[in-house]
Chain A
Amino acid sequence: MAQYSKVAPTPLLKDELDIVIPTIRNLDFLEMWRPFFQQYHLIIVQDGDPSKVIKVPEGFDYELYNRNDINRILGPKASCISFKDSACRCFGYMVSKKKYIFTIDDDCFVAKDPSGKDINALEQHIKNLLSPSTPFFFNTLYDPYREGADFVRGYPFSLREGIPTAVSHGLWLNIPDYDAPTQLVKPLERNTRFVDAVLTIPKGTLFPMCGMNLAFNRELIGPAMYFGLMGDGQPIGRYDDMWAGWCMKVICDHLGLGVKTGLPYIWHSKASNPFVNLKKEYKGIYWQEELIPFFQSATLPKDCTTVQGCYLELSKQVKAKLGKDDDYFIKLADAMVTWVEAWDELNPVGGKAVEANGVVAK
């Protein structure tokens, strides 16, 4: 049965977690989050015009990087960081020195649960990351480590310890994360259904990872969270988080790390323009049909035991198998390599090698 303590309060982890926020407009939304975020260090990644001054509300401890900073810090390797797309947020993951990252969009606000209480999204993400995942067998009562739940009859005892959780994927009330065609067909649809569950995504199963409300263990999976080449000068947008999610899931499945989805909810307030979105996404919509079989059949060799090793191997496969569909994938594969090189330069302790069974080797 689930051994994780439910009585102890969730640790704050305020010195172990950075909040990464990409922004091009302003950070007014932080005012609403103040009660939950103020104790944490923020990493703001300013996209777009670097000469614009982004005002950070008083009282927050933060570091802010604009495009000039990114170019200065990474030099030629800055080419792997997108411009004019929230994909630039992954620069924040790279420069962070913390164990955990929480990333949120600047149009996401505090949601309320069905009882009317404000949801502390960060606390729920921490709970998700600190309790094990169970990808090898599906528990019909969802996360067995949650208070009030457990493993059901028939769930093998040998699988009840679970494995470490690398990623916690949260959801959105109000404006749901639909693609452009769906937005065009259902412009008024709002997500009003609060589903009170967290669950592990089974091994071997892919999903669309949305970067709006996401947390992860940077030490376990950081180098795999590259958000790709999007935005200015690129043929595609709004697939940054998708790309990261598919690479990440293949690697997590290989290394024995877990991915959870479900709670917490945030309130997503802005519906972006569906026609603008359609232009950004349209290549992705049909490229996706090649990408999915690629990721579904991707295998990594046994001797890939670190995240970086897995990621570099994946980049080779991207170049070899997807490069023939479009030159973009050749550029992307190269950018994946650049990203790993930049990651290792900025995080020189060498990264901790994660053994294939998910145990961190010291």
Chain B
Amino acid sequence: MSDSSINPSEVDIVIAAINSDLTPFLNEWRPIFSPFHLIIVKDPDMDGELHVPEGFNVDVFTKSDINLMVGSSHSFLFSGYSCRYFGYLVSRKKYIISIDDDCVPAKDNNGHIVDLVAQHIANLKAPATPFFFNTLYDPYRKGADFVRGYPFSLRSGVTCALSCGLWLNLADYDAPTQALKPEQRNSRYVDAVMTVPVRSLMPVSGINIAFDREVVGPTLFPALRLSAEGKIRWETVEDIWSGMCVKVICDHLGIGVKTGIPYVWRKERGDAIESLKKEWEGVKLMEEVVPFFQSVRLPRSAATAEDCVVDMAKAVKEQLGKVDPMFARAGDAMADWVKLWKSVGSSAPEV
């Protein structure tokens, strides 16, 4: 079920500009991105001018835009990689695709360039199947189907809210792993997309992601900021934290999360050992939060994405707040985010 006719008016591509010169990045993506509207958010911590090449339908947001729209008391939420969330906030499209600015198009096993947008949209438009695992992976893909033994009542699937893509070359490993295997690069293109089963948690990487903003927009948020968070993915966990919340919320609402294709090619950047010396915090934090996420239950009354975030924020503060003040701050940030979403985001009246 490949979607050959994507309606560009349904899609925004949101890019957090961590690098000041986006020219090489956007030129690489030009054939794939040019039909679509781009929202580029400049990292407010970045000094110097942002360079965006000609020929794109693009809106650029900078520190002053952020301050204007959310007030300077909230602008701290959007620093570093998290500036992309500002892009989610101001978008009015149904689908958002967001990738890091150190990724370029990948090639599949036949040597063809992977159309990132087409694949993410195909993933989001086809149903997800979280309640029973299909051994031939996505049953809605051309050439595949549900296997013998798959219950018929579960074959219509549910809405897919999130599409998590993957990475060739520099995979999204943590610093300890990459430091121990400095030469390891991901060269394995796995030609599959599949639904992550209900109740199964996973690390959601922000490097290559797409989602249905109308369904889960409020559930992707900047909340967990490490004290020494840096401008390299090894020094962040904001996406991992957000992703755990998203999965719990999707499971609660009975909607799906897919993982697999499309791939991006992630360029060499950073030094894992340097990151390791600087930042152990993120790695340690995960150990504290897993039991919480595995056991947290949202009340039946939480029927919308916004309600779910509010309830998750409460649960985070109550149960994790005492473990580390960082979590209490994250809970506050989540609650603030929902308020922002309601006033500035899609539920707000058209500006």
Pairwise interchain contact A239-B184, C-beta atoms closer than 8 A: no
Closest to A148 in B: B188
Give A104 Cβ to nearest chain B Cβ, in Å. Answer: 16
Provide the bound-state CA to CA distance between A19 and B164, in Å. 39
Instruction: List A residues 151-201 near B (Cβ within 8 Å).
Output: 151-159, 169, 171, 176-179, 182, 186, 189-197, 201
Give A289 Cβ to nearest chain B Cβ, in Å. Answer: 6
- What are the residues of chain A within 8 A of B137 when measuring CB–CB? 195
Q: Assuming A149-B188, A206-B133, is B286 touching A157 (CB within 8 A)?
A: yes
Number of interface residues of B (CB under 8 A): 58
Give A105 Cβ to nearest chain B Cβ, in Å. Answer: 13
- What are the residues of chain A within 8 A of B197 when measuring CB–CB? 138, 201-202, 204-205
Counted as pairs of residues, one from A and one from B, with CB atoms less than 8 Å apart, the total is: 177
Give B280 Cβ to nearest chain A Cβ, in Å. Answer: 11
Q: Assuming A137-B290, A153-B240, A193-B144, is B135 touching A202 (CB within 8 A)?
A: no
B140 contacts chain A at the CB level, 8 A cutoff: no
User: Per-residue CB proximity of A198-238 to B under 8 Å, as 1/0?
Assistant: 00011111111110000000000000000000000000001
Instruction: List B residues 189-205 near A (Cβ within 8 Å).
Output: 189-192, 196-205
Pairwise interchain contact B133-A153, C-beta atoms closer than 8 A: no
Give the contacting residue for B135; candidates A151, A159, A190, A210; CB below 8 A: A210
Q: Which of B23-31, B67-75, B145-153, B306-314 contacts A (4 or more CB under 8 A)?
A: B145-153
User: Per-residue CB proximity of B229-243 to A under 8 Å, as 1/0?
Assistant: 000011001001001
Closest to B247 in A: A138
Give B279 Cβ to nearest chain A Cβ, in Å. Answer: 12
Q: Assuming A138-B196, A140-B166, is B149 touching A152 (CB within 8 A)?
A: no
Pairwise interchain contact B200-A202, C-beta atoms closer than 8 A: yes
- What are the residues of chain B within 8 A of A138 when measuring CB–CB? 196-197, 200-202, 259
A242 contacts chain B at the CB level, 8 A cutoff: yes
Interface size class on chain A is 35 or more
Pairwise interchain contact A206-B283, C-beta atoms closer than 8 A: no
Pairwise interchain contact A178-B234, C-beta atoms closer than 8 A: no
User: Per-residue CB proximity of A239-277 to B under 8 Å, as 1/0?
Assistant: 101100100000000000000010000000000000000
A1 contacts chain B at the CB level, 8 A cutoff: yes
Pairwise interchain contact B149-A155, C-beta atoms closer than 8 A: no
Pairwise interchain contact B192-A1, C-beta atoms closer than 8 A: no
Interface of B is mostly: loop
Pairwise interchain contact B186-A149, C-beta atoms closer than 8 A: yes
Interface of A is mostly: loop
Pairwise interchain contact B172-A152, C-beta atoms closer than 8 A: yes
Closest to A160 in B: B177
Give A159 Cβ to nearest chain B Cβ, in Å. Answer: 7
A141 contacts chain B at the CB level, 8 A cutoff: yes
Pairwise interchain contact A141-B166, C-beta atoms closer than 8 A: yes
Closest to A194 in B: B191
Pairwise interchain contact B153-A154, C-beta atoms closer than 8 A: no
Give A250 Cβ to nearest chain B Cβ, in Å. Answer: 14
Provide the bound-state CA to CA distance between A178 and B147, in Å. 5
Provide the bound-state CA to CA distance between A154 and B136, in Å. 27
Give the contacting residue for A140; candidates B147, B198, B203; CB below 8 A: B203
Q: Assuming A140-B166, A285-B152, A289-B151, is B181 touching A150 (CB within 8 A)?
A: yes
B180 contacts chain A at the CB level, 8 A cutoff: yes
B143 contacts chain A at the CB level, 8 A cutoff: yes
Provide the bound-state CA to CA distance between A202 and B198, in Å. 9
B287 contacts chain A at the CB level, 8 A cutoff: yes
B174 contacts chain A at the CB level, 8 A cutoff: yes
Pairwise interchain contact B148-A197, C-beta atoms closer than 8 A: no
Pairwise interchain contact B144-A191, C-beta atoms closer than 8 A: yes
Pairwise interchain contact A171-B109, C-beta atoms closer than 8 A: no
Pairwise interchain contact A1-B135, C-beta atoms closer than 8 A: no
User: Per-residue CB proximity of B163-183 to A under 8 Å, as 1/0?
Assistant: 010100001111011001100
Binding site for B on A (CB under 8 A): 1, 114, 137-142, 148-159, 169, 171, 176-179, 182, 186, 189-197, 201-210, 238-239, 241-242, 245, 261, 281, 285, 288-289, 292
Binding site for A on B (CB under 8 A): 109, 132-137, 141, 143-154, 164, 166, 171-174, 176-177, 180-181, 184, 186-192, 196-205, 233-234, 237, 240, 243, 259, 283, 286-287, 290
- A sample of 8 more A-B contacts (CB under 8 A), given A153-B234, A210-B147, A288-B151, is A1-B177, A137-B202, A152-B171, A204-B199, A208-B149, A281-B148, A292-B132, A292-B154
For this complex, 8 residue pairs linking A to B, each with C-beta atoms less than 8 Å apart, are: A137-B203, A138-B197, A152-B173, A152-B203, A177-B147, A179-B147, A204-B199, A205-B197
